[in-house]
Amino acid sequence: MILTINTIRKSDELEAIRARLADLEWRDGRATAGKTAREVKQNEQAVLKGEAGEAFHAHLLKLIAEQSVVVAAARPRRFSRLIVSRARDGGHYGAHVDNALMGQGDRRMRTDISFTLFLSEPADYDGGELVIHSAGMTQSAKPKAGTLVLYPSSSIHEVRPVTRGTRIACVGWIESWIRDDTQREMLFDLENLRATLRKQLPRQSAELLTLDKTIANLIRMWARR
């Protein structure tokens, strides 16, 4: 399941984020890539350390983790550390697959879902499309700033070279309570159905109570730690 989600709706919120980006230090992005991915990665990453960096990281994570569609579609158990990347002057990230496991010790997690939160307006750069390859299909995304694209970590994906301007985006990974992508999609469909029916039926209607029970019992059946 690939979703495009309007996550940061207010222009002043985006401007505040961009202002904070200007104060961050940037380093070669290959430092965080695996052995294979390092060969196709050419970008920079913000150093999200120290008081200012950690505060900025916490702010971005809160925006993403509390977004209602992200919660309904991903069923997050935990989030990875976020990465803020910058690509310019031909910067890109060639076709690759994300590591199945990330982090160390207690923070080690399985990557079920990847996401990219676009922070630059598409008119501000050429190229830089997020391209996701799935069975028999390729999808390309270059949405407006503030939009988050959610997609399976199991897919081959890439960021096309930026030939003009600068592309800044926040990327990260989710370990879901619901490991299987098809099961997550079924639950997401049922959540959307429930949201629609709640506008039409009383909360204690037999139809809504049955739907509530079905969603809860499917989560019990499918949730994995």
Q: Which residues pair with 140 in a beta bridge?
A: 131
Q: Are residues 93 and 65 part of one domain? A: yes
Are residue 194 and residue 164 in the same domain, yes or no? no
Per-residue confidence (pLDDT) for residue 31, from 0 to 100: 73
Model pLDDT, residue 148:
98
Q: Which domain holds residue 66?
A: 3-176
Contact 189, 72 (CB under 8 A): no
Report residue 90 as tokens: 């031909």
Please give the pLDDT value at position 30.
78
Whether the predicted model's global pTM rises above the 0.85 cut: yes
- Mark whether 52 and 151 lie in a shared domain: yes
Task: Count how many domains the chain has.
Answer: 2
**pLDDT tens figures, 35-52:** 666 779 999 999 999 998
CATH number at residue 142: 2.60.120.620
Residues of the chain falling short of pLDDT 70 = 33-37
Give the pLDDT confidence score for residue 57 in this predicted structure.
96
216 lies in the same domain as 155: no
The answer on 199 and 135 residing in a single domain is no
* Residues 8 and 79 placed together within one structural domain of the fold: yes
Residues 214 and 124 in one domain: no
Q: Are residues 11 and 100 in the same domain?
A: yes
What pLDDT does residue 22 have?
86
8 and 103, same domain (yes or no): yes
- What is the model's pLDDT at position 36? 67
167 & 185 share domain: no
Do 170 and 187 sit in the same domain of this protein? no
Residues 147 and 69 in one domain: yes
